[in-house]
Structure 1
């Protein structure tokens, strides 16, 4: 055993960094015969077809409820496109996924409602249906596994997100763990917004006994693991307009672990970030006070206000729904400039949800801990804004310049030679002080950080598409060199990159 000062989360992060000197040696060709199928299949169960409820169901309460649930699931993770291949077509979903691998699964637990019998359900995205694979009421077991979170006392439905690890590991190996949680964050972003579209309110729970929830869902823990639990409140029911609760609980911090071979790190790390079931545990679910100030206020730097008019999402949010369903990742930019007003609008929708309450969007959506996630922006071409690297201060709603330079050439290099980095007008970096996060939440903080970064990234995605801009997330980059080149403080571990620009038309 190794007695190391670094926790397993820090060790994992260091081990899975891309480095210019070693990336070629570590790269391997894909075995296409072993490519995983991104859909889960059940041999037995009762299927509830959701397709008839997508368009104009009969005007009765039962059909209306089913339409709301159908649209929620479809806008969150439904199939929105198909790319022909020589074999099985490649299906595109509402939420983006690294490599189009879609590691997440959606489960639904019903406590027993007038519309949906008690039991366990899997969302079958390929057929847009719910497959009931267990008929008994398991709600009390869910409450116990979630340490009696009070939201579960007042709700009748819960969404559970899991990850089938091999779907991403097949391509990205141990670094896949980062992508799995970024992808889950994208899905959380969709679930948040699609819930508002359909009069639901998801309450995020990241603190749960992992193995207890896995067993409840009959998951094979060697292949699949629970990632997030979301009690789903029906806001049309007065008694389900519930107060917010704490979303994240800490795990242990492990500093003794074996020497792990490449390929074994992901599974071991996931096991060590789990929380054990403790029936006598007492959890304070009250929200912690919000941070009042932005983390960085660099002296003598140029500051630019980002206060902006809210993006208009149309009557009954119809434009938001259409944007979710037509979202695609941009493959190439033309290098033309964004306007400062466009950049401000993107930041406003992503970081200032309170500005959208009048449009019936949630003004305080659930994250795990946004005070731990920082945002830096490398500006290459934004009309009205000097080139350079900026820190975005969401509470002050301003950009603070930390370095003066055009970084196009460096961004091309940092993003592993991807033209998206070079040709983008602006490149946004989500970062976190990993050691500070682990001090607060143990090694499980690694999950929370990446899901929050993915959630923010999905809001950026949708705002950019709505404004007619291009956007694409990048999870592969030279980690340490990002900080060195852009002037980002060394303590900030890079979590995610989002490129923004004007798409190159075919």
Structure 2
């Protein structure tokens, strides 16, 4: 009887794990002569300058509905992916954006598609973050093509604008090689988290669409699918127009599950894996995919017997009048480079978890109480605490439905966390380290190989909410995408079925 092969998602995940016995031999020096430029340029097209709408005082736009709309769109794009700092580096400059990116490589591009409005003519636009402008590079109406590519998703019926997030693969692969695929989608998740919250600030509602025919969207955007690929579509509803306030449709669709893959050399795995996670259209243009076998559970996944349980109920974070403090927080957020080792308080940790996982608590602040994720039921959260005042050191499972921490192991893991995070001092000196995980086998059973994208974008989305909550509370925060995968589960007691997707460290900044 032939041996059953794992899917390409399993294969990719195993192939790109960091292992203490092999990581040194695999590491190579970077070829700085081939460093990618994290910006896209167009030789033809017309430009719409968005800078005046964020540079002028808000009062200037109150009496003119047209300029008020432009101010809202300008702020949405700037808070989502705008340039917020310029840092000198090796005789040049590195531009930092409102959304964090591993290694400052910023693999994502933002495209705006207009159905055709009095203010934004029909066509394709690229968001040029260096100049904070929209480049209109195609003038024809492509909305029906977008609807067809997205299987006529209900969110595109009455909305007038959509945003497409793409990935330029080499920007991350230059540094992280095949493992870059993980980081690309974590970075995209950060961006989606920013878009979701920035939309609340500007009276928009992004409806996330993860199921679309990849090549159809790529062709519509005139991008080379060998170099760049669409990874998320968002229908942007204007909440000030009641006709656009639509109920949500299905966010995630499954792809096929590929088990007949060839032997792939290092350097070719990422591109092949991306092709295998795509949704293909049939000859009739209809969706021909497996059904989603999704189980909605009203209970949290893990309830360890005899474990200590700590309630995380708390008061909500104040985001200010008209969310003005949220906007400031988005724009000033930075990844912390070093921690002092001083303790956080349990109340601070509770506030972080409350904002990240309990959006319903923020209805009175006009935040979206049901933000779009691909499937948050697949993501689990574990927290290793080494310095939280009022909480015993150890590893905990966070149960979001019960709103409590459930202790798995009693131990201070500072030394082990230093090792697990590839010797990064951030792991050792952090007061708490959050791990996002998923059962890869069960996830693939529901969504096919495409779920690998969904899992990492959802983990990045959660990570970005943690980033912003920490920044608001003056807590240091930094994400880590490089770690010894298998050893994390062994050391901390996380169930072996849980694949580690992302790590976020928290502590007092040094």
Q: TM-score, normalised by structure 1?
A: 0.98
Partner of 2:99: 95
Shift of 1:286: 12
Partner of 2:17: 17
Q: Deviations over 1:142-168 (max 9, x none)?
A: 000000101101100000000000000
Q: What is the 5 A alignment of 1:178-197?
A: 178-197=182-201
Please tell me whether the aligned partners of residues 7 and 257 of structure 2 are also in contact (alpha carbons under 8 angstroms): yes
Shift of 1:86: 3.7
RMSD, aligned CA? 1.6
Please tell me whether the aligned partners of residues 155 and 240 of structure 1 are also in contact (alpha carbons under 8 angstroms): yes
Q: Tell me, in whole angstroms, the C-alpha distance in 2 between the residues paired with 1:243 and 1:286.
A: 20
Shift of 1:367: 0.1
Q: Tell me, in whole angstroms, the C-alpha distance in 2 between the residues paired with 1:68 and 1:156.
A: 15
Q: Tell me, in whole angstroms, the C-alpha distance in 2 between the residues paired with 1:201 and 1:189.
A: 12
1:112 to 116, 122, 144: 116
Q: Tell me, in whole angstroms, the C-alpha distance in 2 between the residues paired with 1:481 and 1:281.
A: 40
1:136 to 129, 140, 146: 140
SS in 2 for 1:250: coil
Please tell me whether the aligned partners of residues 245 and 286 of structure 1 are also in contact (alpha carbons under 8 angstroms): no
Q: What is the 5 A alignment of 1:307-456?
A: 307-456=313-462
Q: Deviations over 1:359-413 (max 9, x none)?
A: 0000000000010000000010111111100000000000000001000000000
Partner of 1:41: 41
Q: Kindly indicate whether residue 460 of structure 2 is the aligned counterpart of residue 463 of structure 1.
A: no
Partner of 2:27: 27
SS in 1 for 2:117: coil
Shift of 1:333: 0.3
Q: Tell me, in whole angstroms, the C-alpha distance in 2 between the residues paired with 1:3 and 1:212.
A: 36
Query: Any gaps of 5 or more consecutive residues in structure 1?
Result: none
Change in 2 beyond 3 A, CA 1:282/1:199: farther
Partner of 1:200: 204
Shift of 1:215: 0.2
Instruction: Give the ranges of 4+ consecutive aligned residues of structure 1 lying more than 6 Å apart after TM superposition.
Output: 282-289
Change in 2 beyond 3 A, CA 1:246/1:289: farther
Q: What is the 5 A alignment of 1:172-321?
A: 172-278=176-282, 279-281=285-287, 290-321=296-327
Shift of 1:239: 1.1
Change in 2 beyond 3 A, CA 1:64/1:3: farther
The range that moved more, 57-66 or 458-467, is: 57-66
Shift of 1:291: 2.6
Change in 2 beyond 3 A, CA 1:367/1:275: same
Q: Tell me, in whole angstroms, the C-alpha distance in 1 between the residues paired with 2:308 and 2:292.
A: 38
Q: Tell me, in whole angstroms, the C-alpha distance in 1 between the residues paired with 2:446 and 2:90.
A: 49
Q: Tell me, in whole angstroms, the C-alpha distance in 2 between the residues paired with 1:243 and 1:445.
A: 24
SS in 1 for 2:89: coil
Q: Tell me, in whole angstroms, the C-alpha distance in 1 between the residues paired with 2:452 and 2:349.
A: 29
SS in 1 for 2:477: strand
Q: Tell me, in whole angstroms, the C-alpha distance in 2 between the residues paired with 1:96 and 1:340.
A: 26
SS in 2 for 1:38: coil
SS in 1 for 2:349: helix
Q: Tell me, in whole angstroms, the C-alpha distance in 1 between the residues paired with 2:289 and 2:204.
A: 26
